[in-house]
Structure 1
Amino acid sequence: MKISKLLLGIVLASLLLFVTACGSDSTSTEETPADEEVDAEEGTEELSATDYEVWVADQGTNEIHIIDGATHEIVETIDFNDVGEKPHMLVFDEEGDYAYVANMGSGTVSVIRAEDRTVLTTLETGEGAHAAIPSPDGERVLVANVPARSLSDISVDKENEEFVVERELDLSAVEALQDEEEFPNQNPICLAFTADSSKAYVTLGGGGLVVVDVETFEVIQSFGKSQVGAHGCGTILSPDGKHMFANSGSTELAEYYVFDTETDELIYTGETGGTDAHGVRITKDGKHLWMVNRVTDDAAIIDVETFEVVDTVDFVGDAPDLVTFSPDGSLFYVTLRGPEPATGTHDMAGETPGVSIIDVESKEKIDLIELTGDPHGIDLRIVQE
């Protein structure tokens, strides 16, 4: 009997150890994937973190400043004194490989390879080169030369890094623009392409706007100053490609316009609620257009579907000019003009030259990156995604 009880005890103990061991294995098997999942998520967050740079053209000091998106510190400055005078607007191509800089003081356009900050070439385009805008297909850059009253067409060969001025459109010779009352001058100011790169909408300094057929390089539609006001620089395509926005601004005016890109008809005219409308950008979610007003130092928030102003940013900084959003859409960067503007048609001086940073959610200014000259052009380049 004693032996039987002893054997029974040994069997029960063995069974208990076996069950305990199985339970431990089961628990271990369930916990391990959970731990691995946490690690995987952490790794994914690391890989999806976006590094970016904000590039700013300071036409007052002839410099291009490169700002780190994470620290908001200037990490590099490109001296433009021997490159081009008064770098005015700076725009990246779709991939962020090349920056096109319009040098208003020297009538040239410089091409910078973004990765190593090398100025590849500087091309003569026309007096007062104001805006050099790359097409969505990457095949060309159109340049608005203000006092020259012309558009230059630069062909782009990325593979061989060749950039050549191939054509010029003399707007002063366009028959449709000869009405002096409707077109006081034919100075091109800013422009934007349609989604298929086939057309460009170009604002005119004295008032008005023209639509250019890119293939034929001819004006196919025109609007006089009675329809589109002077000094417009807010041309931007809607996310769906169906509408082109433009604006006009002065010390008395801040209007914006919407065109149907299929018919090239003006379908909407609105007021920002401020004075001197200028820089524009569309939010990351594609729902709203933010448009700054240089005189009143604020911004209108416009619904891209209804075309109506739905909100405002009360203060974006003193003398705001051009703008861009951070890749995640949480921050709004605004260049602020200096006390001695290097270019301009009317009073647009500011006391705090630099880059203002607005928190998009709160719509409040949260920081200022101080500069010393007359900041103007601004664009963003994603370094790693």
Structure 2
Amino acid sequence: MSQQPILLPYGDPAFVADPFPFYRQLRDDGPVRRAVIAGGLEAWLVTRYDDGLAALSDPRLSSDVRDASDPRIVERLPATDRESMLRTMLRSDPPEHTRLRRLVSQAFTARKVAELRPRVQAITDRLLDAIVPDGHADLVTDFALPLPVTVISELLGVPVEDRHDFQRWTDAMILQGPEPPDPAVVDAAWRQMRSYLTKLLEVKRARPEGDLLSALITARDEERRLDEDELIAMAFLLLVAGYITTVNLIGSGLVALLAHPEQLRLLRHDPELLPGAIEEFLRYDGPVNPGIARFAREDVEIAGVMIPRGATILIATALADRDPARFPDPERLDITRRDNPHLAFGHGIHYCLGAPLARLEGQLAIATVLRRLPDLALAVPPSELRWKPGGLRGPEHLPVTFTAGGGR
């Protein structure tokens, strides 16, 4: 197996629109491949399911970017507040990860999330109320984006009217493509985001409410379980992670259904298939693409390939979730698929904290769209849909037509 790095062609519109033929060849070529990924960074891609599942629970692989030998990875974090950005749940390992996750885990249990169902349904209906009279919409801009933004904003206690600002700052910090991000742009966006969060937390301190940010302030000020930088970093992570992948789940799920009309008809006929359909959307074209990064704490062997200490290892969940050794007929969208232990939410101690909330939002969003927007169809040819270029996959816009005036 050649160990010359292969370039993931993020500059190629055809790859961005549909990377899976390229991925299939990459997986067939070998279980571990060196590659140049988004932003020009080099990583070792773990391409097959069993190896990826094991790697996600391997204590020799760290989530802490300070374990990376490539200094560019740390340098791409905002320079003005790099240390606190390194101390989030996403980028920490036990015992710090355990401490931080425990502070917020109770807000995202299945029971707590189930209690949010009426409110999520109400937000979903309100957003669709605004578009059903028109007979056309952009289901990303008008629906898939504001739905999870509103839900996580209410859960945290963030004014939803501020969403355009924090979305703009978030995009500047995390959007990926073939070229490295501009450090000055990233840093400026983070300074604005930090200033916003600092002022918001001051308001919460003065007038605490029954939201998650108020609870975290209590953990900071009274229980001393967070310092101020950790509090701000936690607020940022929860706000951004609470919506950015769910937007893509809803958008990509709707695109998949529109591209597979037999599956769309099946789901319309039997809405009870929806929970399984959400799992299939996550497997078939999940929002994290190509996968989840880890860093080797020591020299580590994966699938017979020795990977050096400090290397970036990208557990390519998008490739693993179409591995024919694990999923029969993996290139086919099948909303009735039963055995579907996909890796879209990760695995192990870093398994996505917000998975129950994302599933709920995805189910209610897609069920309500199918119920209230009859004769749903793309308003443009599929080839004209634009997709996000790397790291987080989903349609940038989703123009559709439907019969106006759909009821509840």
TM over 0.5: no
Higher relative contact order (CA 8 A, sep 6+): 2
The structure carrying a bigger strand percent of its residues is 1
Q: Which has the higher helix share?
A: 2
Q: TM-score, normalised by structure 2?
A: 0.26
Q: TM-score, normalised by structure 1?
A: 0.27
